[in-house]
Structure 1
């Protein structure tokens, strides 16, 4: 499934580009993600843990930057993993394109090409897309915070890292997004001729 998101970072495109080149520094900004080992050649082992309602999903796998096109300001990261408990798998390529925005900010357009099996696949495209949007918002806030802290002479110990993904917070936010979508479908302007 293809999921598209867009978020804004309150920093110039050059600073965001430099920050996003550092996969070990970038990973903690994704709620529930942690890199556990540097396997060399730009490949990292890691895990992602998230809760969605009563279900806790944990994946262990690898991540590697497969593209860093400075001229196009495009980065692609490929991650693949399997469930710690269960037979599910996840295979994802995340492509982020950075575009200068007004006020010296940066718009980051993200495309996630995601294939999941097992328990995660049971949630369906709508719920996975909504959860992805919630996670991207937290990701953007973390990047902005860390870039700002770096400008002020902050060190890694002062830099905020994202909290592990909380099932209640993500679930509520995703449910609100789904409800808004349903309301727009039923009460929005008609598209019939």
Structure 2
């Protein structure tokens, strides 16, 4: 399943780029994600948990992350297994940062492959809608992290965006379900028009 999203962060490109190079901070900004080990060389182990009503999955796996400073872009590939439910996931994600007036635009292109019980949600579009909600919360959390750094911070502090960070907000199960249902209804009403 292809997922393409864009969002803007109201901070300058260098500050957003510095944050995106701090993988533990990026993981902390993603609701349900937990980094468990930095294996070095851009390899990380972690867990991503999601719950939709009675269905829950906790994918444990590894990811390889690379970045290209010249193009302000990056690539991540990961695999995970939900040991309790038997579901498997595979992700290939590309991101690009672009400076826009007074902000930074983040473009994300991802290819998510699901197998096992969780795959049935992909057929109904819930995974795609959930991704939109999670990316929206991720953007909010990125802004909260960056807000902890004053705009006129010295270059050394700007390169380390985790200095005295604001705690990112997670997303509650009921809020996630409500947002997904609202997005599905909006999409259905858009088709009916």
Q: Give aligned pairs, total.
A: 184
Residue of structure 1 aligned with 2:186, choices 165, 176, 180: 180
Aligned to 2:157: none
- Mapping of residues 8-87 of structure 1, within 5 Å: 8-65=8-65, 67-87=66-86
Q: TM-score, normalised by structure 1?
A: 0.88
Assess, with a 3 A threshold, how the Cα gap between structure 1 residues 136 and 124 changes in structure 2: closer, same or farther: same
Give the ranges of 4+ consecutive aligned residues of structure 1 lying more than 4 Å apart after TM superposition: 152-158
Q: Does 1:122 align with 2:129?
A: no
Superposition deviation, residue 76 in structure 1? 1.0
Gaps in structure 1 of 5+ consecutive residues: 188-193
Q: Is the 8 A contact 1:99 1:106 kept in 2?
A: yes
Aligned to 1:190: none
Q: Is the 8 A contact 1:74 1:98 kept in 2?
A: yes
Q: Could you say what the CA RMSD is over the residues aligned between the two structures, in angstroms? A: 1.8
- Residue by residue over 1:2-44, the C-alpha shift from the partner in whole angstroms, topping out at 9 and shown as x without a partner, is 1111111111111111110111111010001001112222211
Q: Is the 8 A contact 1:7 1:108 kept in 2?
A: yes
Aligned to 2:5: 5
Distance 1:162 1:88 in 2: 27
Aligned to 1:166: 172
Superposition deviation, residue 157 in structure 1? 5.4
Distance 1:166 1:121 in 2: 22
Aligned to 1:88: 87
